[in-house]
Structure 1
Amino acid sequence: MSLDRRFAGAMGHLLGPDFPSDIALAVSGGGDSMAMLTLAHNWAHAWGVRLWVVTVDHGLRPESAAEAAMVAEECAALGWPHAVLRWHWDGTGNTMDAGRRARLGLIDRWRGSIGHVLMAHTRDDVAETFLMRLARGSGIDGLSAMAACHHVFPSEAVPGEIAGDLPPAPAERSPGFLVVRPCLEMGREELRHYLRTLKGRWVEDPSNEDPAYGRARMRRLMALLETEGLGRDRLAETAVRLGSDREALRLRAAELWGRVGRAHETAAGDRSGVLILDPDWHRQSDPATARRLLGGLLHYLSGADHGPRAEALDGFHDRVASGGGGTLHGCEAAFRQGRLLLFREQAAVAGQSETIGPETLWDGRWRPAHRAFDGCTLRALGENGWRETAPGRAAAELPHRAALSLPSIWQDGTLLACDGLNVGPGGSLRSRFDEMWPGGVREFLLSH
């Protein structure tokens, strides 16, 4: 079957039958993404969909600006709008991880009303990622194949320049966007052969052959593994099977949460961000599902891109299942009346404060619910706040340690509101997570 037909089949499966009127493509200029651009061009004309192409120039190589210009030329020839998003790395953190975050954050700023962004990950990427994560000792989540559709929610605006065509602005902006990978069942060499046949253009990123990068090393290793029956296809198939097993664990964890867990709410219905498990939660299912649930709850509370590592989670699970507390992944576990409470660790949010305005986001999660507190400070409650909340403590039923990291609003050293401890008018803050996962913790567990 031709690549055009396979691409059309993948798009129909992932987004059909009622396709969005506008779809974005992230195109770097490499062979995979340029082939995807050509495939999408042919498909879009047949289905009446408008494409918007975006190139993120990370500025990490001197050739990157010329590569972005090449993509712009190809888009002009094909008749599609194009924009370049320029990011300037500040030199902190891991380069690859910082670049990935910047790419998603810049695309989110640029996308306007578009809710779907195509990315050209291939079967080779699945196999290489499997090997890289196997070397790190990853569990089933890390070893599972990347999803063909994945909702991402960039947590903050990324500074950078946007030059080129902008999609239409939305009347109401949706939280995050859907990454769609229609080329996951295609091989890298297949896509390059497609371009060569059509005399298409692309550039080769020299970092793909640089042994300083883990992915480049895995590509070399895969050539050796091929002779032993562990080539790209076998590794990718294994990752896909593990993905099916991961989905089964997600379902079991979500079902267990429905029986033994709840999000803490005040008498007024405000959510505090504290999660509660029944005393016998770990006896209600098998150990693997219990660990899955616990890891998912820590992932949810922390707001991190990934959940805790498998080895650390194993030890944490054993401690709390035997009645002990502890901290992991920026979260803490404590007990009250036999129930397990999970909440943000105070040390993880200490020192974080935001002056409240229209775009305020504290701890990657909490926003002011209205403008009445503009100019005030949003931060963790802390010890000073705890001393001021005595009237609301009994009704809130939260212990001292859980209360210290609650979001609260202050003005000139005076506590104005802490929904979790019934201080203030109530409904002062809302969680960004409620926008991202309207179905609450259960929806999160089913998608992570």
Structure 2
Amino acid sequence: MTESPARQAILRHFVTSAFAHHKPSRVAVAVSGGGDSMALLCVMAEWAKSEKIPLFAVTVNHGLRDEAAHEAAFVAETCQRLQVNHTTLDWTGWQGEGNLQDAARRARYDLMAEWSKGLGISQIALAHTCDDQAETFFMRLARASGIDGLTGMQRRRTDQGITWVRPFLMAARDDLRSYLRDIHQPWIDDPTNDDERFDRIKARRAMEALAPLGVDADVVGRVMDHLAQVRTALDYASHDHALECMRMDHGDLIVDRRRFAEAAPEITRRLMSSALRWIASADYGPRGLALQEFISSALRGRDATLHGVRLIAGTEQFRLTREYDAVRDTTSAAVDLWDNRWRVKNNENQSLVIRALGEDGLAQVAERPPNAPPRPALMSSPALFDGPTLVASPILGLGSHEIVLDVGKDDVFTTLLCH
């Protein structure tokens, strides 16, 4: 079969463009052995060689199918031929409960993030295509998702300190397979890609049924791009409104009720969801009726809790703080991150632990400062202990140790622009 220079040039352009303004010193590519990821591996191997950038490939073996080990070995053999360093990561965490696909996806990203950090890699390329994007649109449409959900996957997204890059998000699945045929590179089809028990496969079948109407991946992609522009405008409006009505205080958020209420309902919803997600250090913010009821409580001056966050009402403003019950039993060594947010600065004492101040910590405070936050906010605030003895409570100005928000964590205002 004759190789198509034009097709290869287009795919090479996608990769080059993805890293044009963020050229890495070294980069990784996630490879499962399927057609999409094998195409990305081959194109990136050529690109990395010409750019003189070390390329690493990683495969996650979830151990859920007998064929998985063979697929990982197949990727390793291909990488050896391409002179790409390859690693297989094994996941053994499935306990047979909950959503398997979601658990496997989370584990896959966690394993790859930890692996890449150990190698000094800050960017990992993923092989999602415009077909994946369109399927995601229909899956989220079925869940009545809003603007954020319907804009689909981002070309670049930073999470867990890693930038996840999708160079082929505008490439068609069929084109990638044609490219592989051009270069005589085999791939392995996952049998679950035809299993209609999965929502993604149902979405794929729905797209096939809509094709006669002209609704294909390209059309859906253009609609999603339009929605993405709307989302960007909303993000900036939410960011600007946050600067007008919100301030940070020891990891809590103090919100001016009147100014908060002046924005359009969609802006207040986005702002509150982002605030709760930031305080709870959660992957996603709350949605739906629960979020609307929480906003209603804020506007009416009523206390409430949601998503591991407590709302403490005041006369003219309200405070959003961590809910004590959400962190009551969370304890970390002073050298580790606590509640995914807090870190002890310049600590050399290995025996100290960081946990919520709690009742026992408050009982050891002789006198609180006049400007101390409300009791619920104090209870859930990070404090340093040596056994049962309180060593430091930054929120109360006690002790010489600093407990600071993790230096790698964006503030709430930044998250409004990069979620």
TM-score above 0.5? yes
With normalisation by structure 1, the TM-score equals: 0.87
Looking at structure 2, the residues matched to 209 and 280 of structure 1 have their Cα atoms a distance apart, in angstroms, of 53
| 1:402 aligns to 2:377 (yes or no) | yes
* Alpha carbons 1:123, 1:188 under 8 Å: kept: yes
Residue 375 (structure 1) aligns with: 351
Q: Structure 1 147/18 Cα, relative in aligned 2: closer, same or farther at 3 Å?
A: closer
The partner residue of 1:252 within 215, 227, 237 is 237
* Alpha carbons 1:29, 1:67 under 8 Å: kept: yes
Secondary structure of the 2:232 match is helix
Looking at structure 2, the residues matched to 338 and 118 of structure 1 have their Cα atoms a distance apart, in angstroms, of 47
Letter in 1 for 2:320: L
Looking at structure 1, the residues matched to 415 and 21 of structure 2 have their Cα atoms a distance apart, in angstroms, of 26
Residue 64 (structure 2) aligns with: 60
Deviation, 1:251, is 0.7
The partner residue of 1:47 within 45, 48, 51 is 51
Runs of 4+ in 1 over 6 A off after TM superposition: none
| 1:287 aligns to 2:287 (yes or no) | no
Looking at structure 2, the residues matched to 60 and 106 of structure 1 have their Cα atoms a distance apart, in angstroms, of 16
Deviation, 1:426, is 4.8
Letter in 1 for 2:252: V
Q: Structure 1 280/205 Cα, relative in aligned 2: closer, same or farther at 3 Å?
A: same
Structure 2 gaps, min length 5: none
* Alpha carbons 1:145, 1:240 under 8 Å: kept: no
Looking at structure 2, the residues matched to 185 and 69 of structure 1 have their Cα atoms a distance apart, in angstroms, of 29
| 1:131 aligns to 2:109 (yes or no) | no
Deviation, 1:14, is 2.8
Deviation, 1:18, is 6.7
Deviation, 1:263, is 0.6
Residue 321 (structure 1) aligns with: 299
Deviation, 1:219, is 1.4
* Alpha carbons 2:257, 2:299 under 8 Å: kept: no
What does residue range 117-266 of structure 1 map to in structure 2 within 5 Å? Answer: 117-153=124-160, 176-264=161-249
The partner residue of 1:436 within 393, 409, 416 is 409
Deviation, 1:36, is 0.8
Deviation, 1:220, is 1.7
Q: Structure 1 144/389 Cα, relative in aligned 2: closer, same or farther at 3 Å?
A: farther
Letter in 2 for 1:293: L
| 1:27 aligns to 2:2 (yes or no) | no
* Alpha carbons 1:352, 1:363 under 8 Å: kept: yes
Letter in 2 for 1:431: L
Deviation, 1:43, is 2.2
Deviation, 1:34, is 0.3
| 1:336 aligns to 2:314 (yes or no) | yes
* Alpha carbons 2:94, 2:103 under 8 Å: kept: no
Letter in 2 for 1:126: Q
Q: Structure 1 414/337 Cα, relative in aligned 2: closer, same or farther at 3 Å?
A: farther
Q: Structure 1 255/196 Cα, relative in aligned 2: closer, same or farther at 3 Å?
A: same
* Alpha carbons 1:274, 1:342 under 8 Å: kept: yes
Looking at structure 1, the residues matched to 224 and 294 of structure 2 have their Cα atoms a distance apart, in angstroms, of 27
With normalisation by structure 2, the TM-score equals: 0.93
Letter in 1 for 2:397: N
Looking at structure 1, the residues matched to 30 and 176 of structure 2 have their Cα atoms a distance apart, in angstroms, of 16
Secondary structure of the 1:308 match is coil
* Alpha carbons 2:347, 2:401 under 8 Å: kept: no
Looking at structure 2, the residues matched to 123 and 333 of structure 1 have their Cα atoms a distance apart, in angstroms, of 41
Deviation, 1:113, is 1.1
Looking at structure 2, the residues matched to 327 and 18 of structure 1 have their Cα atoms a distance apart, in angstroms, of 40
Residue 107 (structure 1) aligns with: 112
* Alpha carbons 1:138, 1:310 under 8 Å: kept: no
Q: Percent identity?
A: 37
* Alpha carbons 2:33, 2:188 under 8 Å: kept: yes
* Alpha carbons 1:254, 1:446 under 8 Å: kept: yes
What does residue range 416-435 of structure 1 map to in structure 2 within 5 Å? Answer: 416-427=391-402, 429-432=403-406, 434-435=407-408
The partner residue of 1:69 within 53, 66, 73 is 73
Residue 162 (structure 1) aligns with: none
Cα deviations by residue, 1:29-51 (Å, 9 ceiling, x for unpaired) = 01100011111122223333221
Residue 285 (structure 2) aligns with: 307
Secondary structure of the 2:39 match is helix
The partner residue of 2:276 within 268, 286, 298 is 298
* Alpha carbons 1:120, 1:183 under 8 Å: kept: yes
More displaced stretch, 318-327 vs 81-90: 318-327
Letter in 2 for 1:117: I
Structure 1 gaps, min length 5: 154-175, 265-271
* Alpha carbons 1:52, 1:82 under 8 Å: kept: yes
* TM-align CA RMSD: 1.9
* Alpha carbons 1:369, 1:430 under 8 Å: kept: yes
Q: How many residues align?
A: 412
Looking at structure 1, the residues matched to 26 and 300 of structure 2 have their Cα atoms a distance apart, in angstroms, of 53
Q: Structure 1 219/342 Cα, relative in aligned 2: closer, same or farther at 3 Å?
A: same
Looking at structure 1, the residues matched to 179 and 207 of structure 2 have their Cα atoms a distance apart, in angstroms, of 23
